[in-house]
Amino acid sequence: MFSKALFKQSMKANWIKWTCVTVATCVMLAIVIIALGSLAIDNIRDSLKTVFAQADQESVLKESTIDGYELYNSTGTFEDSLETLKVTNIYGRNALETIWSLVKSSYDAALNEFQVNNEGAELNEENLEIVKINARDSLLELLNNMLPNLGQTIPGFQLNFSEEELSQFVYIMLCAYENNKTASDVETMATEIENAYADYVYDMAYEMFLQQEDSTEDLAKASAEASKEMVKVAMGNYSKETYSEEYFKSLASVYVPETLIYEQVLRTFGVDDTSSDEERAEAEKYAVVSKILASTSISTYELWIEEYTKNAEKYPEVKDVKESAREQASASITDQLNDIDEEVAIALKELGDMDIYGLIIGNLFYRVAGILLPMVYVIMVANGLLAGQVDSGSMAYVLSTPTKRRTVTVTQMTYLMLSLLAMFLILTVVSVISIWIVGGNDFTINFAEILILNLGAFLTMFAFAGFCFMCSSIFNRTKYSLSIGGGISIFMLVCTILGLFGSDVVPLAMRIDQMNFFNYLSIISLFDATSILTGGISWLWKFGILALIGIVTFIVGVFCFEKKDLPL
């Protein structure tokens, strides 16, 4: 069944081809792995990823800044009124005391009424809220009755609140009273009101941010905190001289990023309490950029408001104007991409998520480039082992000795399989060494995966070897053996190249889905590199099919050769 002499003869006839193909393929593989590893192609991917992460952060930052600014800006009138109540204002002193006493009586009355109606009820936060709402409603009623001549009732008190603002104002006063019921001097009262106002802004900001798209509790808290800080600082420094829109702007662009950046944005870049000074310095760089971004976004926001206010027909409501302006001013690079074409944005995102090692090594090298030369070897050698020798007539010298045809086929088949196996064993060693050299966590292909990839490439070539061997056995003429065996093999390889452009390993930007059709024409599709690299198991049964193709075609080859006429 096996002839050592013939095996030696086949080795002598083919060792040059074998050596050339093995060396060339190994060199190619080593260059691919080492080049990929040392050039760190993943940097591109990482920076793309960072761009998108930063774009998201940028968007949040801008939105928060604008919201904070808007929130604070909208309470400008409140500030104005508060000014009149301030301790420093001599006219406000009496007014504050008057209002404080009004608030005190309303609150006490409401509390009393609540306690009478709900005997034994605990005075928890929820119930106190009800008390405050009741007190606010009764106080508002009283104030509304008094409003037309409020100026006379409370000297120095000039209100130009809207109804809603008045309700807010009253509620804040109630909160302030609740926090410190024993406050007797004006200084304390003013501080309590300021604190209550800051808390109110915080709650409002929190609610507002939570309602936003993609908002998290963390972000809402951070933004609300920033707004509260702004209010506090603003009130602390408040004076008519410094009051201006510019001042609000700078407050917003300082406090929002301060809070947001350090607590939230930078956390996504891996900076926390345990970070080193260097990392903090790096983070602060981002913070500076963020401040600039924040202040720019506010300017942009105002420009857009101005722009939209001009188009009165399109935006009749102030609310719409602000909403649109906010949207425009907070747009990040990804939002702008979305405006151009959603596909482009997805494609770019996918480019960022792409596994470049898997694509180049798994799909491009092991499924196409790396098996091209072994395939040429298989086509040439399989043909030369049988059909070539029958065609030339040299097989006569073997078969005129007491050597069975089956011995010939089995020996030649063994040579073909062993030479392929040796080739891929060497390739495996080279690939493992190359990966060991480049090493590192950045390299996404591990040793187990590279071993399976090598096995897959071998099984693919095993199937082709069987097929070519069968053709070589069936045909007496080299031209038929080569054109059927080699032709179909090369056809399948080309289909795999074309099919690559339709498979999902290629980024969307260069993918043509219809090209996926070619993958159905090639048995190389059974070598599922993507499944191997993504930790699937479907590659396993596909490997089985490849092995089966090889075994069946080899056996068919052996039997065909025994049955046919040989022109020797």
Q: Which residues bind other proteins (CB under 8 A)?
A: 3-6, 8-9, 12-14, 384, 389, 392-394, 396-405, 565-568
Q: Which is nearer to other proteins, 10 or 431 (CB)?
A: 10
Q: What angle do CA 462, 468, 474 make, to 5 degrees?
A: 135
The two structure tokens encoding residue 391:
């065609």
**8 Å CB contact between 177 and 104:** yes
- Is residue 462 within 8 Å of residue 527, measured between CB atoms? no
Residue owning tokens 């345990």: 274
Nearer to other proteins, 246 or 565 (CB): 565
How far is 203 from 197, CA to CA, in rounded Å?
10
Query: What are the C-alpha distances in Å from 230 to residues 70, 201, 249, 251?
Result: 12, 10, 10, 6
Q: Are 206 and 220 in contact (CB under 8 A)?
A: yes
535: left (phi over 0), alpha (psi -120 to 50) or beta: left
**What contacts 518, CB < 8 A, 6 or more positions away?**
495, 496, 498, 499, 502
User: Least distance in Å: CB of 40 to other proteins?
Assistant: 47
Nearest to other proteins of 232, 564 (CB atom): 564
Match 């088949």 to its residue by tokens: 413
**Closer CB to other proteins, 389 or 496, in the complex:** 389
Shortest separation between residue 514's beta carbon and other proteins, angstroms: 45
Q: Please provide the DSSP assignment of 288-328 as one string.
A: HHHHHHHHHHHHHHHHHHHHHHH-TTT--SHHHHHHHHHHH
CB of 394 vs other proteins, minimal distance in Å:
5
Least gap, CB of 565 to other proteins (angstroms): 4
The helix/strand/coil state of 441 is: coil
- CB nearer to other proteins: pick between 384 and 466: 384
Nearer to other proteins, 8 or 285 (CB): 8
Query: Contact 66/329 with Cβ under 8 angstroms?
Result: yes
Ramachandran angles phi, psi of 417, nearest 5°: -70, -45
Q: How far is the CB of 491 from other proteins (least distance, A)?
A: 27
Q: Which is nearer to other proteins, 393 or 440 (CB)?
A: 393
- Judged by beta carbon, residue 5 or residue 433, the one nearer other proteins is 5
- Looking at the Cβ atoms of 150 and 568, the one nearer to other proteins is 568
Question: By C-alpha distance, which of 25, 131, 86, 29 is closest to 435?
Answer: 29
Q: How far is the CB of 462 from other proteins (least distance, A)?
A: 24
- Minimum distance from CB of 11 to other proteins (Å)? 11
> What are the tokens at 211?
């309602």
The answer to whether 32 and 438 have CB atoms below 8 angstroms apart is no
Residue whose structure tokens are 């056995």: 473
**Residue 383 or 428 with smaller CB distance to other proteins:** 383
